[in-house]
Structure 1
Amino acid sequence: MQSQTAIIEPNSGSKVLHWTMVIIAMCCLLISNGMVLTGLTAFDSAMLAEFSDWSRGDLKMRGLITLALTGLLAPFIGILIDRIGVKVLMMFGAVVLGASYYAYGMITDISHMYYIHAAFAVVLVACGLNVAVILVSNWFVTMRGTAIGIAVMGTSLGGAILAPLFGSWISEGMSWRDAFQMASAIPAVLFLIALFLVKNRPADCNKKPMGYETLKDSSDADVSSQGMEYIDAIKTKSFWAIALIAMFTFYTLLGLQANLVLHLQDLGFEIQSAAAGLAMLFTPALIGKFLFGLIADKVKGKRVLYGNLGLMLLGLIALYFAGKDTVLWTVAIIGFAWGGFYTLLQLNAVNNFGLKASGKLLGTITVLDALGGGLGIFLTGKFFDMYGSYQNAFMVFIVLVVISLGLIGFIKKHVD
């Protein structure tokens, strides 16, 4: 009886630490993704006004640089995640982010901006999506969908909070240079959180993951050691379906969010209203990420995936025809659908193959989704330079989501 008590005791107490890791992962994504991918778009019009010889395509090339390098680095960082955990990587990424933002306020040439966005790639792999998802997955077996859903809400919170905040600084008369340097203090919060609170896995503090007793071999409660080998996983159609869906949908969503403030200004919105318009994309996404993460713990199969992506397609079709009076409603629909799909995509990548090689698998997926996202940011800006509007870019979004709907049929679960 005493030995049984000893086994159960570490998992029978409060789950505060488990959920603390979820909140930390959410804060990590709020700061890293919010500052690298969404918040800085509030400065676009001010920068284009100062550097009048830059086109929108020139400006958005920065996103392609960041995400292409993210894709190249992701497999190597994935190996580090599997070997050393996420704590040190989070701290390192926070330092790079703060220094890069401070340097952003001193650029005088477009090449300076491109160098900084190369450094941003380090931020995204060291304290971005893969790190957050693996941290949460190590702590949860049951309720993993809900936990990941809450964690990835951070990417939407970054857009909903930081873009309007930075936009308000600009509208109140602060120069974009001063705003960048003021914002450079924000990553210090992430550094301190990682330093004092992050635990890579439950075993590091004599805990067990939530729901470990549901495992086939519950005596081995380290879920990070269970699942398919990397070489076996990448031989499956399911893996490449997930990777291609990630690539096509990241092209669409990042292409939209990176150009949304400028598109809203083209439609007649003032800068503060246009920056706040990002909240209409990311606030509904918050709801979608949590809601569909919760549903994924109750409803199995691919019906929810089809529903999410189908709704996103309807929103994109509506965006193609939308004017000033209706555009924000279409953006909200896209955000809500994307939020749910974003959560489910991460959950499928972890659940279908297990955590044994999750760092390398998510790193490989990131090669494609980062490339897709970077191309989406850059080419959407280039479409505007070529045609004077974003309509053709929106049509590309629609086609890619239709293809992604078809790819869902190839996804299946390979581990119990």
Structure 2
Amino acid sequence: MSIFRFPALVWLGIGILIISLGIRQSFGIFMMPISMSFDVGREFFSFAIALQNLLFGVFQPFVGMAADRFGSKRVIMLGAIAYGLGLLLTSISTSTEMFYVSISMLIGLGLSATSYVVVLGAVAKVVPAEHTAKAFGLTTAAGSFGMFAVIPGAQSLLTEFDWQTALQVFALLCCFMFAFASFMKTVKPSETSSEQLDDQTLTEALKQACTNRNYWLIHLGFFVCGFHVMFIATHLPSYLSDKHLDSSTAALALAYVGIFNIFGSYFWGVMGDKFNKRYVMSALYLIRTVVIAAFVTLPVTNHTAAIFGAAIGFCWLGTVPLTSGLVRQIFGARYLSTLYGLVFFTHQIGSFLGAWVGGRIYDYYGSYEPIWWSTVVLAFVAALLHLPIDDRPIISKPVPALSR
């Protein structure tokens, strides 16, 4: 299937992800100005972003269930409202309590309703199974384009105005997510795809997944991804600043993460359609292992920062189409938003630890070196975790034993 033949719902989902994830991935460049404004250490902002990601994950299974039951359209529209309100209230926060409620709770809720789980769940219902990973890869790449487009704009707003104004502009962008969602139509699963367990209830699907060893291996792998992504997105600008590099270098490095992930996400999605997803996933994590180890070993310069951004960007969110594709391949598309939502919760536990522990270790040791090397070890472990996954589809429900 050509990407130009994907249903309109896919393209509306792409527009939503560009805004939602573009804003989210730009929060790292706000660490220094917000910390200075509140006159606190880096752990203050790190914990706020960590809590945001944790709540993002806590809300996710419930939001996924709501999307499976009531449709993605309503969930995304409500999420866009929560996201915009959270950004607006953050920009006018004068106390730490208000700051945490807005940037952590409201934005965490908004992200859970406007990002991958809900959008990919809707996409899975309109795209044939054999093209799932490709469609998921294209949709995931949209979030990377948002990162590439939004971060330089955010840096310009910070330079010309202040962090409050930048967040208020972001709040206005949430109106576009609301508008895109309003055009989405509730659809039934594609007739060209053979869905599994059509008469299965949500409770049965959850029980089957939670007693499946492969499902938990997928959880563990995605935990590592969350740890990597939020540590780098939150702390890379500060790490480069510690190396006496200009703030524009950090913005450029993160922008490279975004633009190279556009190609990387689609590439890994296509590879997931052509080859065994678990082996492709292992290869992705091995590449991460080498890239991160090289970055912390070599001297940090403008050039190495840019190269790191490009290299890590190529395998940044390629895990999303592969992980969601594995869940869909094994358990079917009917309850994908719920089952993938639970996996994403584990991802966000990793994100919470990556964002918070990074700041905690820096404030304690005065260096990011220990946490950088822990990301190398975790990447290698994740590569090993995916090898024993049995990705064969579950084609029928367990048959209850006959009473004697």
Mean CA deviation greater in 17-26 or 68-77: 17-26
Residues 1:157 and 1:216: Cα distance change in structure 2 (over 3 Å): closer
Q: 1:17 to 1:109 in 2, by over 3 A?
A: farther
Give per-residue Cα distances to partners, 1:189-211, cap 9 Å, x unaligned.
1111111x21232x3xxxx62xx
In the superposition, relative to structure 1, how do residues 15 and 410 fare at CA in structure 2: closer, same or farther (>3 Å)? closer
Aligned to 2:263: 287
Structure 1 residue 332 displacement after superposition: 1.8
Q: Which of residues 377, 382, 385 in structure 2 aligns to 1:407?
A: 385
Q: In 2, Cα distance between the equivalents of 1:182 and 1:33?
A: 15
1:242 aligns with 2:218: yes
Name the Cα RMSD after superposition.
2.5
**TM-score normalised over the length of structure 1:** 0.87
- Equivalent residue in structure 2 for 1:120, among 107, 121, 125: 107
Question: CA 1:109–1:225 in 2, change beyond 3 Å: closer, same or farther?
Answer: same
Structure 2 letter corresponding to 1:318 = A
Counterpart of 1:3 in structure 2 is none
Q: In 1, distance between residues paired with 2:98 and 2:195?
A: 53
Q: Is the 8 A contact 1:224 1:355 kept in 2?
A: no
Q: 1:215 aligns with which of 177, 183, 194?
A: 194
Equivalent residue in structure 2 for 1:194, among 147, 164, 181: 181
- Please give the alpha-carbon distance, in whole angstroms, between the structure 2 residues aligned to 1:302 and 1:368: 18
- The whole-number CA distance in structure 2 between the counterparts of 1:285 and 1:224 is 36
Amino acid at match of 2:267: L
TM-fit CA distance, 1:45 = 1.9
Matched, 1:170 2:146: no
Amino acid at match of 1:275: A
Q: Deviations over 1:22-54 (max 9, x none)?
A: 22222222222222x3123222222222222x1
State how far apart, in whole Å, the 2-side matches of 1:73 and 1:50 are.
Answer: 30
- Aligned letter for 1:80? A
- In the TM superposition, what is the alpha-carbon distance from 1:223 to its structure 2 partner? 11
Query: Is the aligned partner of 1:326 residue 2:304?
Result: yes
* Alpha carbons of structure 1 residues 15 and 374: separation in structure 2 relative to 1, 3 Å: closer
Closer/same/farther in 2, CA of residues 22 and 353 from structure 1, 3 Å limit = same
Segments of 5+ residues of structure 1 without an aligned counterpart are 1-13
**TM-score, with length taken from structure 2:** 0.90
Given the alignment of the two structures, is residue 109 of structure 1 paired with residue 95 of structure 2, yes or no? Answer: yes
Aligned partners of 1:42 and 1:164 also within 8 Å? no
Give the aligned residue type for 2:194. Answer: L
2:127–2:193 CA contact under 8 A, matched in 1: no
- CA distance in 2 between partners of 1:376 and 1:301 (Å): 25
Q: Distance in 1 between matches of 2:200 and 2:13?
A: 17
Partner residue, 1:60: 46
- Please give the residue correspondences for 1:228-307 in structure 2 after superposition, counting only pairs within 5 Å: 229-307=205-283
Residue 269 of structure 1: SS of its match in structure 2?
coil
In the alignment, is residue 48 of structure 1 matched against residue 35 of structure 2?
A: yes
On the 8 A contact 2:253/2:308 being kept in 1, the answer is: no
**Which has the higher mean CA deviation after the structures are superposed, 357-366 or 396-405?**
357-366
Q: Which deviates the most, 360-369 or 244-253?
A: 360-369
Cα deviation digits, residues 311-354 of structure 1 (max 9, x gap)? 11111111211311423212321221233233211211222211
Q: Give the letter aligned to residue 367 of structure 2.
A: S
Count of aligned positions: 389
Instruction: Please tell me whether residue 72 in structure 1 is matched to residue 58 in structure 2.
Output: yes
Residue matched to 1:84: 70
- Provide the secondary structure at the position in 2 that maps to 1:268: coil
Assess, with a 3 A threshold, how the Cα gap between structure 1 residues 145 and 415 changes in structure 2: closer, same or farther: same
Q: Is the 8 A contact 2:83 2:111 kept in 1?
A: no
- Partner of 2:19, secondary structure, is helix
2: distance between equivalents of 1:223 and 1:289?
33
CA shift at 1:301, angstroms? Answer: 4.7
**Which residue of structure 1 lines up, in the alignment, with residue 345 of structure 2?**
367
Which residue of 316, 319, 322 corresponds with 2:292?
Answer: 316
Task: Call closer, same or farther: CA 1:305–1:266 in 2, change over 3 Å.
Answer: same
Does the 8 A contact of 1:167 with 1:276 survive in 2?
no
